[in-house]
Amino acid sequence: MRRRRVRPILWWVLVAVGMATGLQCFWLVVGPRVQSWRMEKALARFQASPSQARADEVVELLGIHAADAKQGRRVLRLLLQPNVAMRRTYAVGEPVGLNLERAFDLGFRDVL
């Protein structure tokens, strides 16, 4: 009688361990793709309408290593590209000047 009770309990313990192991393996495969999708969505939002809040969101995702190498290159190019400003007209003999300014204040010190 005792032997019959042990088998179903052992069976359910093995099923639970197998399911937990399968779920962990699934997350190891799918987890990086989810991070990549999050980064792509954040990049799309940033490109649609750049703002300081969206730049901070992208930098935060960089901080948790959500980007792969290609995404990282795209992010750095988008965030670090300076704005070039100059006057439309200059007086004769006046030297031409350019003003380079960063579009966003970035907290890269901790990330890089």
Each residue's pLDDT tens digit in the chain (112 positions)?
A: 455 666 788 888 889 999 999 989 888 887 777 788 888 999 999 989 888 888 888 888 888 888 888 888 888 888 887 777 777 777 788 787 777 777 777 766 555 5
User: What's the pLDDT at 45?
Assistant: 92
Q: Look up the pTM and report it.
A: 0.59
Closest CA relative to residue 106, chosen from 84, 67, 74, 75: 75
C-alpha angle 59-48-67 in degrees, rounded to nearest 5:
35
> Residue 30: its pLDDT value, please?
78
